[in-house]
Chain A
Amino acid sequence: MPSLSTGYAPNLGVFLKSLKSQQLEASIENLISLLKRRQIKNSRPCAIATAHLLLRVVARFKWTDVGKLLERIQEVGQRLIQAQPREMVVGNIVRRVLGMIRDEAKEDRNEDASDSASNSQLSSPKRQSSDLGHLRNAGGPPTAFSPLRFDSKDVVQAMDSNSDDSFGSKSSANHRPPLITSHTSYAVTNNVPVQHSMFNLLSAMPSPLATPPGVSSPQGRSSVNMSSVAHRAAASSNDLKAEVISGIEEIIDELDQVDEQIASYAQEHIHSNETILTHSSSRSVQKFLLKAAEKRKFTVIVAESYPNDHEATHAAVAGKSKSSLDDSDDMDSDTFLKPLPKAGITVIQVTDAAIFAVMSRVNKVVLATHAVIANGGLIAAAGARGIAKAASFHKTPVIVVSGVYKLSPEYPFEFESLIEYGDPGSIISYHDGPLVDSVEVDNPVYDYVPPHLVDLYITNLGAHAPSYLYRIVEDHYKAEDTNFHNPEFQY
């Protein structure tokens, strides 16, 4: 373990340790420079660092109101994204946190509002939405995160946008013109009704027992709530803060477990004696294959993804971390995964050029990702497009393994803008003196793989068709946060 006192080769581990001792502003600056210098790079470390930093931001935030907190997070998020716009997970995590704060805030407000609504026996439309509020609350305590969390969030989200109109949300009303508010809620109601009514049917079943007596007898409940309203006004900020913090911790837990969750689906997708082609080095893919290897024997062909990721790929295959002495680019000790050959998998290391040649022997292609876009396309290590294309030429299915946290709501129409160009020195070194001067060298780090070349996405939520990803995007992010970092593009 590297000692944290030395600033030598800082990485994720050092950064996380420094968070506790450093001033918040210093931590933010620290992460920005780490991102800029690529001392923290790749999706997972970036996501973890961002989530931990935001946790600090919320914890240190001097509470005034929710709007201010959202602004603060947006401001920090903007700076992080500017530091490294192509690490799309940074933006994703910020959006997740923003969306969660909005949820928690609305829940709070809705509780108050629905209480008052039931109290004063209002006209039918409002009455209706307060019923919705009750139903939702009946779905389980909002802070208890079950495996259904995303589904229930979805419902919450849909209904909140409904209730937006009737109750008006302070914070989001500040940010959005009224026309757009109605537009969003229209869009959401249009998309969701089937799903949320289904969910309500199910979740509302056991609720009569669980809900407070207020539902059946508004009188009784109102008295309880009337007395607690004043209390809540004072306590809500603290409650909300605690809820937001536990929400972020939830996200951090998710980042921790995402690879295991994905791997748990492995045996459903890999049969015995298969030949699987994968490329570059990826924790998710490696865990996925290792999990499958517990029960099955198969062959994995690994393309090395030269020149940007070949060392990590070779190290992962040969099971040596000696070349990467700073082994904690990822989270310290668990970086060292069992190499595939140790798990009884026959591993064939090939060059990137041989992909087409061996593709006729491949049963399935498993791709790792850098980021996934809402249209079902993905950003992955350079060469991925060629692999996917060769696979589709040979009618070989392509499976993409990715955590939901890599799924970005951004949809850039110019995909080239997502591509990062790397160091040409890794292609032509200065040994080739004259060549360096006379030849222009391209070293793209990533490829964009269009959705029609992908057959299946396996995320921590299960397996989806590429065409379904937009739904998952909607479940995880709020439309108003999509372009928080460049407000001029908002709608």
Chain B
Amino acid sequence: KKSGSPIEEPKEEDKTIEFFRHLTKTKAYPAGLKGANKDVHPAVQVLGLQMSNYMICGSSARLVATLQAFKKVIQSYTTPPGNTLTRHFTSHVLSPQIEFLASCRPLSISMGNAIRWLKLEISKVDIDVPDNEAKEGLCSAIDSFIQERVTLASQVIASSAAEKIRDGDVILTYAKSSVVERALVQAFEAGKKFSVIVIDSRPLYEGKHMAAALANLGMEVRYALISGLSHSIRRATKVFLGAHAMMSNGRLFSRVGTALVGMEANSYDKPVLVLCETIKFTEKVALDSILHNEIAPADELVIPDGPLENWRDVKGLQLCNLMYDVTPAEFLQMIISESGNVPPTSVPVLHRLGNESQA
């Protein structure tokens, strides 16, 4: 159809979207595996693969899995003679792991926060402490970090959010958030009579798992895609959103499509509650969804046997598989965190308090 010879040429065409050029492209996972440094621990390699094909997905899940993998790295580590754990481990052992994970999928904000904490912990290890003891100390610190910042935090948030649910409520939620799911389950088990609308989007269909999990418990669940949002939102009485991160300017950084949900909820005057652990708070700010974001491989958008199959051959056609978007603070009514329920404007305050206590 096209002239025969330049078939090669369009394949080399740059498919980068101009205004996302600054976002480093995620390498597809085989490249990640091949490029893996021999220093990368097997547990981290597995984790990297699982993250890149979304088997482990979601900010909290990735955070926990990363820390668990790092625990294994620590356990299998022995300080080489003539070195100390404090000086050697972070730069020579931990960094390649982190690099590898980041090459599989950009690190989440929560992972970044946790890694920063872990490095701090490592730097605090006394040089005189024997290897074994130091390693044990780090592992138990990781355990208690997970326990405190993720497990307990999500419990507190879930029960706090469950309290907000009243009989007759229709809770609308978007995609999948572990803590939203937990809150809904908790309210359901407390005998509250409400129904749930799960809005979902291509290509991840995370909401489908959420809908299935809730329906299995016997909850009344409706499921719709984001294009049908403006119809579903009218039925809803409250909107629960999960978060990837809360920005310091009160904006919510979450799965792409969340901003639309927030906008429609706002235009129909439905309260929007964000369920977010403080580990996901960041000092970064965002004004739009362009500057900070993640571009997933475009081929994930291609439907098998669909007309897009050979999209790379079509000159001038680009596919954009965006992962996140930024929801303006004015769409959000309340942030439910383990340190209390606050308006979005108080995010930087909570973040500071959290960090000060940690430091």
Contact = CB atoms under 8 A, between A and B. Distances in A.
A276 to B, nearest CB: 14
Q: Which of B211, B316, B321 has the most CB of A within 10 A?
A: B316
Contacts of A358: 289-290, 320, 322
A361 B290 contact: yes
Contacts, number: 196
B308 A349 contact: yes
Interface residues of B, number: 57
12 contacts: A307-B227, A318-B314, A322-B307, A346-B316, A349-B319, A356-B263, A383-B228, A390-B259, A393-B328, A434-B212, A435-B208, A435-B211
B307 A318 contact: yes
Interface in A433-481: 434-435, 438-444, 447
Interface in A274-306: 299, 301, 304-306
A208 interface: no
Interface string A303-341: 011111011001101111011000000000000000111
B244 to A, nearest CB: 13
Nearest to A307: B225
A351 B323 CA distance: 10
Closest 4 CB pairs of A and B: A353-B257, A341-B316, A357-B289, A383-B227
A140 B310 CA distance: 56
Given A349-B301, A350-B320, A357-B325, A438 B215 contact: yes
Q: In this complex, which of A306, A318, A349, A386 has the most chain B Cβ atoms within 10 angstroms of its Cβ?
A: A386
Interface string B285-318: 0001110010000000101011110110011111
A352 B226 contact: yes
A160 B241 CA distance: 60
Contacts of B328: 393
Contacts of B5: none
A385 interface: yes
Interface string B189-229: 00000000000011100001001100110001111111111
User: Which among A301, A308, A381, A442 has the greatest number of chain B C-beta atoms within 10 A?
Assistant: A442
B142 interface: no
Contacts of B202: 304, 306, 351-353
A215 interface: no
Given A318-B307, A352-B227, A389 B263 contact: yes
Nearest to B308: A314
Contact of A352 (B225, B259, B316, B326): B225
Contacts of B203: 351
Given A350-B320, A353-B201, A442 B289 contact: no
Contacts of B314: 317-319, 339, 341
Contact of B317 (A323, A347, A350): A347
B201 A438 contact: no
Contacts of B208: 428, 432, 435
A409 to B, nearest CB: 25
B259 A383 contact: no
A386 B325 CA distance: 15
A442 B223 contact: yes
